[in-house]
Amino acid sequence: SVPEASYNDDVRAPTRQDGRLGDLPTLRPSSTAYSDFRQAFPTCIDRLLAPVISLDDSIEMPKPDCEENKPFLGYTPRDPEQRTDDAVFVRRTLQKNVVWGILGFISSSLIFFTILFISRRSGDAAARPQLLPGQSFWPYIPEYKRVFVDDKDWKDAGEVGDVLWHNLLPIGEGYVPIPFPRKYALPESAPFEGNPDKAEVYATSSVHQLHCLATIREMIKSYDRSEVPAYGSGHAYHCLNYLRQGVLCAADTTFEYGHPVWNVEKKFMQYEFSGIGAVHQCRDWNTVEEFLVNNRASDKQSIN
């Protein structure tokens, strides 16, 4: 039968034990695991195992029979030097963990911002028009604002105009030898004799367009003077078609304003859209010319 709990004036109850369960297990086994636990906690644990419940719901921890910090189950306290070594080891371990944590945070941040930077650059590159591979052979060409003017010397059909147009083309006439041109995805062209880098010669489109303008100018001069032109009509029509494509390729979208001009005969104001005075966004021709001269295939210079 189960013994009944009784309460006396000391409001203490004896420990109950159910006979049907047999003897309670020993609380102090001699196993290795228990000994290791006791080594980690050398103080007596009786105070944790023998609470007495009082009527006022307070928990009293009876004073154990053992002395404070008394060795238990063969445990021997560590000597001071060993404790010092352990403290140093723990401190160094914590320091290493802190350092590795900081390094890990910095590395993760660098990786994150690198990926973010690359993704943004990739997005910007996708948004920009891609240059042809051959354009990578050129240096950076800055842009600037240029006002179109009405220059009478460039409209001169005599010697003054001839000198200006002759000096317009750079030395070498825009022909450039490019080493290993397949690297720039360029098709096969004229070989550059005597070059060890297997260079091939290529013309520059802007110089070709200037040559075509000069050709048309010469034909107009010949027509005005009733002379036989130096070029046939086939070459002239070629130049017109070539310039047409060059204009469409550049697709200059500058807005040009009209200049008011009083019509004396009809006595009213009309507007002339000559393009004079309009501000254009242009590439720096001086940079282009300098590169062509420094990388020329020959020393020839002639607009024709």
The mean pLDDT value of the chain amounts to: 79
Residue 99: pLDDT band (50, 70, 90) is: confident
Contact 271, 258 (CB under 8 A): yes
Phi-psi region of 22 (alpha: psi -120 to 50; beta: other; left: phi over 0): left
- Report the DSSP beta bridge partners of residue 59: 53
**What's the rounded mean pLDDT across residues 249-254?**
96
pTM to 2 decimal places: 0.56
Query: Per residue in 272-290, pLDDT tens?
Result: 999 999 999 999 999 999 9
Integer Cα distance of 274 and 276 in angstroms:
5
Per-residue pLDDT, 47: 47
Q: Is 126 left (phi over 0), alpha (psi -120 to 50) or beta?
A: alpha
Q: Answer yes or no: is pLDDT of 25 > 60.
A: no
Q: For the chain, where are the E strands, in sequence order? A: 52-53, 59-60, 143-147, 176-178, 190-191, 200-202, 259-263, 268-272, 279-283
Q: What confidence tens digit (pLDDT) does each residue in 138-163 have?
A: 999 999 999 999 999 999 999 999 99
